[in-house]
Amino acid sequence: MKLSSIHVKNFRTLEDVCVRFSGFYTAISGQNNAGKTTLLRAIRHTFRDNSREFYFYRRRDEITYRDDRTQWAKKDEDIVFRYVVTVSPTEDPGLFQFIEKFNEEKLPPNHATLDVQVSCGASDETLCTCWVNQKELSTFASKEVLQKLKSSNLAFMHDSAHAFSPIFGAGGRHLHELTFTADELKEISQELARVQAKIKKISKAHKTELSELLGHLEEKYEVDFSIPEDMFTGSIPFAVNLRDKNVDIPLNDWGSGTKNQTQIMMSILQATRIRSKPDENKITPIILIEEPESFLHPSAQAEFGRVLIDLANELQIQTVVTTHSPYMLCQSDAQSNVLLGRKISYGKTKSTEVIEIKDDNWMEPFGNILGLNNAEFSPWKEVLFSGKQCVLLVEGEIDKLYYEQINRLGFADLVLPEGLEIVPYEGKDSLKNSILLKFIIDKFKKVLVTFDLDAKQDLERTMAQVGLEENTGYLAVGSNKPGKQCIEGLLPERVLSKVHSENTDLVMALTSADNKDRKSAKSSFKQKLLAEFVADKTISRDDLEPFLPVFKALSRLAPK
């Protein structure tokens, strides 16, 4: 099951809000009290996890008109939730077959669209209308569909502020839940039969002693010991240990960040097992996570954010998170980031609004969290949305083309590491914002930042601030000679001489008093140098000796 959109009216701060979900991962961000938790609660009003009802602490999911209706709305309008869900016959046969029965005609074989509107009025009576592929169902059928949704386990909720189970074992130790498939339950039942026989054998003395005590009563009883038949009904409480340096440590003895990550992974495991098991009644759930970054260092947030996004896409389990961390925002699809804000009217904070994310303001969720001007993100779009985890950051597109050309020449010690992506960042000024740069480099597992040698003095302090060391984290590129403190300064002398001699007018324009003419000439000259370098078929390994420090530093980025 995949939630395509939710439209909420008159529910707390959500006076009239519509959110569309793109892909399998959605990150909802915004300032405190923007409405993030309220939005998740609106989802949980209908999509729940009833399997954990007994064991886990749950916030109040039921809606009351008096407590939950938008207080500043003038009209006594109903609270309305409208969900659009995509249902697959292979991933959600339990729901697909159910709605097909009420649809009274065969559904398309690939998927169906289920549209559910739930409203709550002043009397707290719940009304529901459902549409299947835009065909409205009867009132009776709509109620049945709503009951099916509410009674199924469709949304695994993890609140990082209330992350841990209240099941207690010996010594007050936290226990958790593990869900079994039908085949696994069958195996457990067979083992239980053996255990039952063992219990009867070793408990013979206990049975005799208890029989003697009961013998003092007028009515006589026979004594037997057994494991309750309903002990294993699909799940079992269990303890989690994590191994560190060959020592098993109970999960509740680890730090809060590790505990939180493990609990989230358990929810993903549970959802994946439901999705993958061959069960005609299964419905693939969605996962809702409040602030997965809680208790984690920024570098750990960056890693965990990558993992959550990768797992959502790889396992095709819809994951919706609320976050205050830029590392939890989706960095592969800008449309997957939802930014919430609050309207201001006459100086007073009013209803929640969705700030629409388009191509020209893709950076707004990042800027909102980091407190940075959106314009500062412009040079970094290609970097942020890079799918690779090992990157070489270069000043511009021409630098990228030089490294790719050298790689094509095939010299053994001048080859780019497998899996490396070269990403331009549009000039040295982009590196001067240390907050933004730190966020960028933490996004990747391995990174090398390069810039022209003539910018080294300006950028050394920034590199130190973000924790990059020379030759391993960053490298200034160029020859320490006047006019050669850039990547072109590493080119063979014959390439430089030929381009200079054949373009005297362009060389003269490089010293023009007009800044526009000077920039244009510089750009043209760089293009001609690159073209000549690529065209020169006599380039040898010795000619490329000046590039060795860069490729040596890049070799450290190669996967081990």
The answer on pLDDT for 397 being more than 90 is: yes
Split at pLDDT 50, 70, 90, the class of 149 is: very high
Pairwise CA distance, residues 207 & 209, whole Å:
6
Residues 281 and 227 in one domain: no
Q: Is residue 498 part of a domain?
A: no
Shortest CA distance to 274 belongs to which of 429, 154, 395?
154
Helix axes 515-535, 397-409, angle to 10 degrees: 10
Number of domains in the chain: 3
CA dihedral 350, 352, 358, 360 (to 10 degrees): 30
**Chain-centre distance of CA 238, in angstroms?**
27
Pairwise CA distance, residues 450 & 277, whole Å:
49
- Domain coverage including residue 244: 168-253
One-letter-per-residue 3-state SS of 298-365: HHHHHHHHHHHHHHHHHHCCCEEEEECCHHHCCCCCHHHEEEEEEEEECCEEEEEEEECCCHHHCCHH
Helix, strand, coil share of the chain (percent; to 5):
45, 20, 35
Pairwise CA distance, residues 21 & 3, whole Å:
7
CATH of the domain at 22: 3.40.50.300
Token pair, residue 420, equals 């490396």
Is the CB of residue 33 less than 8 Å from the CB of residue 343? Answer: no
Q: What is the DSSP string of 160-202?
A: GGG-S--EE-GGG-EEEEEE--HHHHHHHHHHHHHHHHHHHHH
Q: Is residue 106 part of a domain?
A: yes
Whether the predicted model's global pTM rises above the 0.85 cut: no
The answer on pLDDT for 292 being more than 80 is: yes
Of the candidates 253, 287, 313, which is a domain's last residue?
Answer: 253
- Give the lowest-confidence range in 155-169, 293-307, 500-514: 155-169
pLDDT of residue 94: 94
Pairwise CA distance, residues 252 & 242, whole Å:
10
Q: Within 13 Å, how many C-alpha atoms sit on residue 139's CB side?
A: 2
The answer on pLDDT for 172 being more than 50 is: no
Of the candidates 334, 359, 384, which is a domain's last residue?
Answer: 359
The answer on pLDDT for 187 being more than 70 is: yes
pLDDT of residue 57: 39
For range 490-515, the mean pLDDT: 91
Residues 246 and 211 in one domain: yes
Instruction: Let me know the angle formed at the C-alpha of 92 by 91 and 95, rounded to the nearest 5 degrees.
Output: 170
Residue 444: phi and psi, rounded to 5, are -100, 155
CA dihedral 425, 430, 431, 437 (to 10 degrees): -80
Average pLDDT, the chain: 86
Residues 334 and 267 in one domain: yes
- Where do the DSSP E strands lie in 21-61? 25-29
pLDDT of residue 184: 75
For range 465-484, the mean pLDDT: 93
The answer on pLDDT for 178 being more than 70 is: no
Tell me the CA distances in angstroms from 165 to 55, 244, 274, 362, one per residue in order. 7, 23, 21, 38
Residues 35 and 150 in one domain: yes
CATH of the domain at 382: 3.40.1360
Q: What is the DSSP string of 448-478?
A: EEEEEGGGHHHHHHHHHHTT--BTTTEEEES
